[in-house]
Structure 1
């Protein structure tokens, strides 16, 4: 039985989505999934550089404080993950007015507090219009972006002096206010690759002559995969259900030739160094 499972696991190829819970990093969630599958198949992981028992990766980082859809590539499917980086993503974000942290979310240390009593729902909705379409955005200091091969978030946590990356173009396809209960407000966001919801909330706070940070963030969709319809929760991380998810997902993905074209169109390869999608 173990031998059959090992053969089946090592034959899996494609892309499928999992549900990442709040708390672990995307890398840890991916490793937990990998270890579960290897244990079920009775396999051990190779430790030699560039040699893996099971090839697996993800297509867009979610911060540890965020939850939601994390797209996973397995086997040959890892080559298609580049198509996920530049694609459309949807988020539900709960933000808090009057308070900002060093990480721009609830995990960080409060660095500034400002009054927010002057802000009305109408004010907020008016400001949101200025953040729709093609905009420029400065990424957070705490992010998956790298300097000298090291993540900015790791450098910042180590106390190193980290400079902000320059503003870069990003796209917001849609942005709407779904709830306003000061100091909290809720946004529904659809955006392109390389976008940071934390930066958006920070900039909204500034535009309202106050400050703001993310309190809760959920990625509800990435590419064709939605949280409710497709994402495998942790209790379903087994070989049989991953195989079924790959089958169910196959018709949602581009054919291999168009996927290759998309990867070329997404060049330069800095996209793969910035699996930020988020947050």
Structure 2
């Protein structure tokens, strides 16, 4: 039985969605999932990266305080994760006006307080228009971005002096204000890769002559997966459920390549 489970686990290839709970990092979530699968299959993990027993990875870090959809690649599916990093994502976030924190979310220390009673719903909706489309954004210091091979968040916590990364181009496809009850407001955010919702909320607060931080953040969609789909929660982190949840995903560039080959050969297009 153990040999059969091990064989089945190591034969799995593709992408599947799991739920990341608030409080855990994306890496911790992935490691727990991997540990459970290996244990069920009666396999041990090699410590050397090049000799991993099970190839598994995730397609984009979620803040430890955030929750929601985490796309996981297994086997050959790990090669598809690049498309998840650069592709479209959706979030629901609640921001709090009047308080700024060093981490740009509720886990940090309050660094500034400003009045917010002058801000109306109309002000907020008008300001969102200026943050929609192609914009420049300064990433948070507390982030997974690296300097000299080490994460900025780790350097900051160690007390090192770290300069903010320069503004970089990102895209917000759609920003929708769904609730406005100052100091709290809720947005639905659809954005491209490299986008930081925490930076967006900070910038919105500043643009409204106040300040703000993220109170709650939930990733609801990434690539072809949504939080409403059959997302695997912890009670279903086993080989059988992973096998059922697996989906093959062809990156857009590969889809284009296949279409080109079809046109060149005159073969009937694949309808799968």
Assess same fold via TM > 0.5: yes
Residues of 2 paired with 1:13 and 1:125: CA distance? 44
Q: Is the 8 A contact 2:80 2:251 kept in 1?
A: no
Q: Is the 8 A contact 2:45 2:54 kept in 1?
A: yes
Residue matched to 2:225: 225
Residues 18-33 of structure 1: matches in 2 within 5 Å? 18-33=18-33
Residues of 2 paired with 1:23 and 1:74: CA distance? 24
Question: Are 1:92 and 2:92 matched, yes or no?
Answer: yes
Residues of 2 paired with 1:46 and 1:195: CA distance? 34
TM-score between the two structures when normalised by the length of structure 1: 0.90
Question: Are 1:254 and 2:250 matched, yes or no?
Answer: yes
TM-score between the two structures when normalised by the length of structure 2: 0.92
Structure 2 residue runs of 5 or longer lacking an equivalent are 258-272
Q: Deviations over 1:76-123 (max 9, x none)?
A: 111110010110000000000000100000000000000001001011
Residues of 2 paired with 1:90 and 1:259: CA distance? 23
Structure 1 residue runs of 5 or longer lacking an equivalent are 262-279
Q: Is the 8 A contact 2:178 2:188 kept in 1?
A: yes
Residues 1-279 of structure 1: matches in 2 within 5 Å? 1-246=1-246, 249-250=247-248, 253-254=249-250, 258=254
3-state SS, counterpart of residue 4 of structure 2: helix
Q: Is the 8 A contact 2:80 2:250 kept in 1?
A: no
CA RMSD between the two structures: 1.3
Residues of 2 paired with 1:230 and 1:68: CA distance? 12
Residues of 1 paired with 2:147 and 2:32: CA distance? 27
CA shift, 1:203, in A, is 0.2
Aligned residues: 257
Q: Is the 8 A contact 1:80 1:259 kept in 2?
A: no
CA shift, 1:231, in A, is 1.6
Q: In terms of Rg, which structure is larger?
A: 2
